[in-house]
Chains A and B, each alone.
Chain A
Amino acid sequence: MNLLTGEGFWSPLVWLALAVGVALLAWWLRSKGRQDYKRGTEQATPFLSGEPMPEGVHVGGQHLYWGFVEALRPVVDRLRAFHSGVVTDYVTWLVVMLAVVFLVVMLS
């Protein structure tokens, strides 16, 4: 039941068996922890430097990996400018690529 990849193999069933083993180990370790935790009590609320927990707080999708996205912004801004949404730009790129393709095909 192994998928040969040319350089090695992949067996999802063996991987699953190992994953179940790791999950069981994690569960066993967790069960050794404190027993006085109770859901739905004050214990479950996050600690915000002593400030009260505001209602309905959600870190929206656009905020996740904020720093990561900011680091990529110079590259991404150029790519966004390239995706202008103007159909004549689309056609221009098609023509440019056609020229590149012809260059490769004719010179090969």
Chain B
Amino acid sequence: MSLAMHVPILAIAVPLLGAFALPLMAKVHHRLRDLWALVVGAFTVAMIVTLAVQVFTVGVQVYTLGADTPDATLGPQGFPIRITLVADAMGAFMALISALLGGAALIYALGFLEESKGKTLSMSLFLLLWAGMLGLKLTGDMFNFFVFLELTSVAACGLIGYRAWESRPPEAAFKTLVMFILGGLMVLLAVAILYGEYGALNMAFLSAQIGGSLLDRVALGLLLGGLLMKAGAVPMHMWAPDAYGEADANTAIVLVANTQAGLYALFRVVFTLYGGAATPEVGYLVTTLGALTVLVAVLMAVVQTNLGRLVAYGAISQIGYMLLAAGVGLVTLGVGPEFGRVALQGGVFHMFNDAACIGLLFLCVGAVRRAAGSGDLRSLGGLAHTEKWTSGFFLLGALALAGIPPLNGFASKLMIYQSVFQLSPILTALAVLASILLLAVFVRAFQGAFLGPRQSMSGAPLSPAMLAGMAVLAVVVIAFGLVPDLVVRHLVAPAAEALWTGRDVYLAAVLGG
């Protein structure tokens, strides 16, 4: 039996075990800890890439824990009783996003975090969060869906608030924890309802059974409520600027990946679990929340004077674009017009693009705080004189986020605009207006922080690891902008298709037939 067969479980187990072993390595020597983190990170990324190659070339990968062979999903009674991991194109695509952000965050963290300020704790929690996100994206049963959701919540809150010697991070962590616990409880109640109704937890089995009964709809309502909050949809988004704004830069970009994991969980529920029973009204709800999220977040970004919170609202606004596109996909799911497919592709593509450019911006915020000792736009200025690389990276990320051609954000936003226009020109007009406002917001931030005469700074110089972390994301922003057709054809289209028409393939891979 080759190692390649066990890739799905290794992608989760390696960072999980690596997280618990990391403090032991730190006891021996801090350099051994850093080396361990790098080895674990490199192995995790390699596993994710291998899994993605398998999925995009062969098809859906199923892994059953405790079975004689990993593909034996059904028990002796022909019933899916064991824990299964299922990687379809959408799951693999999301795993690639977490590989990109996780890899960049790890490299950056090695140069950014300070020994005396909880570096070991932060890196352990980061690996734990990475494992949780991967588990959420690859799990094929509802109970582990909840378990991994909770794992991401606990690790994320720990990462936000571990700096207990400061006042604001623990407060932000507490607020986030309250919201995540409530959202988690909603998901747990929904899982309990589905288990009580069908006596099973396997997603494929449940998907085949769900027909839209009253209990099914109660469970859907609970799942939507919990996961929309986790994804940061307005008006349940208010934990997000607190969390993003107070977290370290390397943590903030993993929180972006975590928010996207929540969005993925929402997509998995509405397109796969309830694919046959989701109604257009649910799609209209998601579309409305998407439009609201885009507008409210951008308007709030306009008045921010803290660079971290400004980028945080920018990140929330991008979640709105993804919800908008997914909502159009849901509205048209039963009818199947081409613009619904393009909308979904645009939304899925925007997830990767947003991960790269908003991740780059958060890393730049960390670099600004390190160099200037502050993230307050009222006191910053002239950083471009000394921080040339950071200035360039920030400008690149901001332009990409605002959708300026030929960067990656433009390609996915164009797909979203043109497809959403078919459903409602007003929604497209709002989305374009929000993009223009976002450009104004980031021009203002760039002018305030980087331009102007040179100022005396109280911060420390940037390390090569921090620049390397930013460079990784900058390369993706440029490359995905220059060859969007290749990315869409080979990665995005299969991932969107897994949601759009891939439910039967998913069910067949797990249940046979």
Contacts and interface: CB of A to CB of B under 8 A. Distances in A.
A61 B380 contact: yes
Nearest to B377: A61
Interface string B430-461: 00000000001001110111011101000000
A58 B484 contact: no
B263 to A, nearest CB: 16
Contacts of A8: 418
Contact of A60 (B239, B241, B282, B448): B448
A80 B279 CA distance: 34
B418 A7 contact: yes
Classify the secondary structure of A's interface with B.
Answer: helix
Contact of B485 (A1, A15, A107): A1
Interface in B469-501: 481-485, 488
Contacts of B339: 6-7
B305 interface: yes
A12 B478 CA distance: 11
Interface in A43-102: 55-62, 64-65, 68-69, 72-73, 75-76, 79-80, 82-83, 85, 87, 89-91, 93-94, 96-98, 100-102
A26 interface: no
Contacts of A59: 447, 452
A62 B452 CA distance: 13
Given A90-B175, A97-B225, A108-B281, A60 B302 contact: no
Nearest to A1: B485
B378 A7 contact: no
Interface residues of A, number: 52
Given A3-B411, A89-B238, A58 B452 contact: yes
A58 B485 CA distance: 42
Contacts of B238: 83, 85, 89-90, 93
A10 B411 contact: yes
Classify the secondary structure of B's interface with A.
Answer: helix
Contacts of A87: 174-175, 178-179
B217 interface: yes
Contact of B178 (A6, A85, A90, A108): A90
A29 interface: no
B303 A94 contact: no
Contacts of A7: 339, 418-419, 421-422
Q: Give the contact-size bracket for chain B.
A: 35 or more
B182 A94 contact: yes
A62 to B, nearest CB: 6
Contact of A16 (B182, B221, B406): B406
Given A6-B338, A12-B484, A62-B377, A105 B224 contact: yes
Contacts of B186: 98
Interface stretch (B12-20, B37-45, B228-236, B353-361): B228-236
Contacts of B300: 76, 79-80, 83
B381 interface: yes
A104 B447 contact: no
Contacts of A98: 186, 221-222, 225
B179 A106 contact: no
Interface in B186-226: 186, 217-218, 220-222, 224-225
Contact of B406 (A15, A64, A96): A15
Nearest to A68: B440
B342 interface: yes
Contact of B302 (A72, A93, A106, A107): A72
A2 interface: yes
Given A1-B485, A15-B406, A91-B178, 10 more contacts: A2-B485, A7-B418, A16-B482, A58-B451, A59-B447, A65-B440, A79-B300, A93-B238, A96-B235, A97-B229
12 contacts: A3-B414, A5-B415, A6-B338, A16-B406, A16-B482, A58-B451, A58-B452, A72-B303, A93-B238, A97-B228, A97-B229, A102-B218
Interface of A: 1-8, 10, 12-13, 15-16, 19, 55-62, 64-65, 68-69, 72-73, 75-76, 79-80, 82-83, 85, 87, 89-91, 93-94, 96-98, 100-102, 104-108
